């Protein structure tokens, strides 16, 4: 093949290769055009979508901005250093600054009231940790005024997920804070006014009761003397009216104390059955002139001692039963109690039911209002202030209970409530021991008992109780004497009064347990204090048991029998007393049940106690009055504690209650007790003519040959 043919073939291959390359290029160009066309279309669609989304975001922002503005919420954004990066319109209106004046400024320096810098620093630290939070601070406006704001703050983040600042939503609460402050000032003023009212009523009631007690006492003295029939009637009206006035003053003072919240619940041990029976017997005597049968019915679990506030419960029942007696002219007045014993408490449901005038249905919602009376007619006919039920309602609320009432005009009324009472420690309650029929054996009579007691009246009482069973005993008057006796003489039982001067019963018992020959002798505490919160002190002093004052012979013998007898029972032996031709009936103005429990038919001993009381009491009252100027509350407490049980021994338990209240005030450091000393003495003085008459009656019963 020549060169020409070779060249031709080469040119032909190149032509074919070029043609093939042009075909490929043309195809790739076409594909590129198509891709470019698609990219152009996608870009147009993307731009349209971005415009749509931007419009939607703008619309959403405007909607939420409008919502926030309408909700009066001001939004402020600051960077991590506290400089303002954005301020919305409402925030600008709230602070008085324009947006331009705020942007770039340090929020703390420009807006924050200095006293809230610690709060803001704490919140800033929380935002830097990624935590949101709400808080209240004060901001300073452009005009220098201050505004309280509630802030809800949260961190916001940049495109890398790092915290770049904080957004806070501010709500102006200045008006609310001013209202809160006004309410706080008003509350303080109201409390001051209430305290002033309470103090005024307390002072006025004291000032009014002082002369009123004298009127009542003098009237009673007049009634006990020789008066003509007309004078008796006039004096009787004075006595009745003064008693009504005293009742009104006491009721107003009770309401004042309840309204002021100064009535506290005290816990003591008391015999519920005895309390109910005393109320029944009180109103049975009071209702003698009416055709009323007063009954008491107790159902459910049998019990004696319970834990609770006996004074408040007594006041509730006295008000309810007194109200029932007042509006009942004939028929029945019944006190019903049902006792349900649970693992840690007693549920006691009490109902007072009468057959009196009843209450119209439209009046029932108002009967517990203060000073409310059903009708003017009932007020004139039956008397009263309309405070008794209001007081009862408030006391029950304090005790966590509610009172219910059912009534029908002409058929009577029924008031009921349920109250929780605590369960006593049966080991320390002498009346729970089944000791009833033990006669003193010779070996028991030879046992020796040491009694430490500083009260002369209690000494005489215990002296009589031991003599009745022929037991050997020794009485000392203070704790040091008890310690000295126990160092040299062995005793089978020690009865230790707790409250004694110089060395008290706890100190004496501790010393006896540490050394001497009576380190294991049983020690029984004698005290008028309640055992609640007191048991631990007795245990620490080595005291084995507790006999609360005032105690009855039955309780005393039960305790002695438990420690010295065969624990089957004990009675007062067979020692006879001088016979009285007819059984002596104590005056119904005294608590006959207490006096019978204490003395039985031993009139000699009762007369001895009454005489001892009468000889000492006026001197004790003079001493009590003298303590007012000293203002020595610990000393006053000891004197009140010593005197408290003595009144029950002459049948005046209501005076014991008054002294118990005063004792509690002195123990709590309440100086108001100093102002009540004269009233206490007046209350005692008022009863002295009654004690004198009773002494004279006992003398006549024992020694009729000397009677006039």
For tokens 């006014």, the residue is 193
**Greater pLDDT, 252 or 707:** 252
Q: Is the pLDDT of residue 493 over 70?
A: yes
Both tokens assigned to 479? 């704790």
Average pLDDT on 133-148 reads 91
Q: Is the pLDDT of residue 125 over 80?
A: yes
What secondary structure letter does DSSP report for 411?
A: T
104 Ramachandran zone, left/alpha/beta (phi>0; psi -120 to 50)? left
274 Ramachandran zone, left/alpha/beta (phi>0; psi -120 to 50)? alpha
SS3 at position 607: helix
Both tokens assigned to 355? 């057959």
pLDDT, tens only, 287-315: 666 778 888 888 877 666 788 888 788 88
Average pLDDT on 26-33 reads 81
Q: Is the pLDDT of residue 380 over 60?
A: no
Helical axes 653-667 vs 633-643, angle rounded to 10°: 160
Q: Is the pLDDT of residue 635 over 50?
A: yes
**Greater pLDDT, 131 or 391:** 131
Which residues is 524 bridged to in the sheet? Answer: 495, 545
**Greater pLDDT, 205 or 328:** 328
Q: Is the pLDDT of residue 656 over 50?
A: yes
Q: How confident is the model at residue 190 (pLDDT cuts 50, 70, 90)?
A: confident
- Taking residue 265's Cβ as centre, other Cβ atoms within 10 Å add up to 12
Identify the pLDDT of residue 415: 92
Average pLDDT on 197-221 reads 65
Average pLDDT on 407-413 reads 87
Q: How confident is the model at residue 105 (pLDDT cuts 50, 70, 90)?
A: very high
Residues 6+ apart with CB under 8 A from 62: none
Maximum mean pLDDT: which of 26-35, 84-93, 225-234, 528-537: 84-93
Both tokens assigned to 43? 């870009």
Identify the pLDDT of residue 207: 64
Report the distance separating Cα 643 and Cα 31, nearest Å: 121
Report the distance separating Cα 667 and Cα 634, nearest Å: 7
Cis peptide before 550 (omega within 30 of 0): yes
Which residues is 300 bridged to in the sheet? Answer: 339
**pLDDT cut 70: percent of the chain above it:** 79
pLDDT, tens only, 674-684: 878 888 888 88
Report the distance separating Cα 707 and Cα 284, nearest Å: 32
Q: Which of 151-165, 349-363, 374-388, 655-669 has the lowest mean pLDDT?
A: 374-388
Identify the pLDDT of residue 2: 75
Average pLDDT on 451-473 reads 81
Both tokens assigned to 70? 């309408």
Report the distance separating Cα 683 and Cα 677, nearest Å: 10
pLDDT, tens only, 557-600: 878 877 886 444 444 443 333 433 446 788 888 888 888 877 77
Pairing mode, strands 330-342 and 345-354: antiparallel
Average pLDDT on 151-168 reads 90
Name the residue among 392, 314, 419, 357 with its Cα closest to residue 658.
Answer: 314
54 Ramachandran zone, left/alpha/beta (phi>0; psi -120 to 50)? alpha
- Supply the mean pLDDT for the chain: 78
Q: Which of 45-54, 88-97, 232-241, 346-355 has the lowest mean pLDDT?
A: 232-241
Q: How confident is the model at residue 376 (pLDDT cuts 50, 70, 90)?
A: very low
Helical axes 633-643 vs 672-702, angle rounded to 10°: 20
Residues 6+ apart with CB under 8 A from 568: 435, 437, 438
526 Ramachandran zone, left/alpha/beta (phi>0; psi -120 to 50)? beta
Average pLDDT on 458-487 reads 84
What secondary structure letter does DSSP report for 82?
A: S
């Amino acid at each position: 093949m020549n060169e020409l043919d070779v060249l031709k073939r080469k040119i032909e291959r190149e032509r074919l290769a070029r043609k093939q390359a042009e075909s490929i290029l043309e195809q790739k160009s076409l594909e590129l055009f198509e891709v470019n066309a698609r990219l152009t279309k996608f870009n147009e669609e993307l731009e349209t979508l971005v415009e749509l989304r931007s419009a939607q975001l703008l619309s959403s922002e405007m909607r939420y901005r409008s919502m926030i503005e309408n909700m009066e919420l001001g939004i402020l954004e600051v960077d991590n250093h506290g400089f303002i990066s954005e301020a919305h319109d409402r925030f600008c209106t709230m602070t008085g600054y324009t947006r331009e004046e705020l942007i770039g400024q340090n929020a703390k320096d420009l807006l924050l009231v200095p006293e809230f810098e610690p709060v803001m620093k704490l919140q800033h630290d929380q935002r830097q940790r990624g935590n949101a939070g709400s808080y209240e601070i004060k901001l300073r406006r452009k005009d220098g005024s201050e505004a309280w704001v509630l802030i809800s703050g949260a961190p916001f983040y940049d495109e890398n997920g790092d915290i770049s600042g904080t957004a806070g939503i501010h709500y102006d609460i200045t008006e609310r804070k001013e209202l809160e402050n006004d309410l706080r000032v008003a509350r303080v003023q109201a409390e001051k006014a209430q305290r002033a009212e309470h103090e005024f009523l307390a002072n006025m009631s004291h000032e009014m009761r002082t002369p009123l007690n004298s009127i009542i006492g003098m009237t009673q003295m007049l009634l006990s003397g020789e008066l003509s029939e007309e004078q008796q009637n006039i004096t009787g009206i004075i006595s009745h009216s003064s008693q009504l006035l005293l009742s009104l003053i006491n009721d107003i003072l009770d309401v004042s104390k309840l309204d002021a919240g100064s009535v506290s619940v005290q816990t003591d041990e008391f015999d519920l059955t005895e309390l109910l029976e005393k109320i029944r017997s009180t109103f049975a005597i009071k209702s003698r002139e009416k055709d009323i049968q007063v009954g008491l019915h107790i159902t459910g679990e049998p019990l004696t001692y319970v834990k609770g506030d006996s004074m408040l419960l007594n006041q509730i029942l006295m008000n309810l039963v007194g109200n029932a007696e007042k509006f009942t002219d004939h028929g029945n007045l019944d006190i019903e109690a049902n006792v349900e014993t649970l693992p840690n408490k007693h549920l006691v449901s009490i109902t007072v039911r009468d057959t009196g005038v009843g209450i119209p249905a439209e009046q029932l919602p108002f009967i517990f209002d203060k000073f409310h009376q059903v009708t003017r007619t009932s007020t004139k006919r039956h008397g009263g202030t309309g405070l008794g039920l209001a007081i009862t309602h408030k006391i029950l609320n304090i005790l966590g209970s509610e009172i219910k009432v059912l009534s029908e005009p002409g058929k009577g009324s029924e008031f009921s409530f349920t109250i929780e009472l605590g369960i006593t420690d049966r080991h320390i309650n002498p009346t729970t021991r089944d000791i009833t029929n033990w006669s003193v054996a010779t070996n028991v009579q030879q046992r020796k008992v040491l009694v430490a007691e500083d009260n002369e009246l209690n000494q005489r009482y215990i002296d009589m109780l031991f003599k009745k069973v022929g037991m050997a005993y020794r009485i000392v008057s203070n704790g040091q004497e008890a310690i000295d006796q126990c160092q040299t003489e062995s005793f089978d039982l020690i009865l230790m009064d707790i409250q004694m001067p110089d060395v008290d019963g706890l100190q004496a018992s501790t010393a006896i347990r540490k050394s001497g020959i009576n380190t294991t002798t049983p020690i029984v505490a004698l005290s008028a204090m309640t055992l609640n919160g007191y048991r631990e002190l007795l245990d620490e002093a080595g005291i084995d048991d507790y006999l609360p004052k005032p105690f009855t012979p039955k309780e005393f013998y039960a305790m002695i029998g438990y420690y010295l007898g065969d624990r089957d029972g004990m009675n007062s032996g067979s020692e006879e007393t001088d016979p009285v031709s007819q059984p002596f009936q104590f005056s119904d103005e005294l608590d006959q049940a207490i006096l019978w429990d204490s003395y039985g038919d031993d009139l000699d001993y009762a007369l001895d106690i009454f005489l001892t009381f009468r000889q000492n009491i006026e001197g004790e009252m003079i001493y009590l009055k003298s303590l007012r100027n000293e203002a020595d509350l610990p000393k006053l407490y000891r004197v009140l504690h010593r005197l408290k049980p003595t009144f029950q021994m002459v049948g005046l338990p209501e005076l014991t209650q008054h002294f118990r209240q005063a004792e509690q005030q002195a123990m709590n450091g309440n100086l108001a007790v100093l102002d009540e000393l004269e009233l206490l003495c007046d209350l005692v003085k008022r009863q002295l003519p009654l004690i004198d008459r009773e002494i004279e009656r006992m003398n006549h019963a024992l020694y009729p040959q000397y009677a006039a």
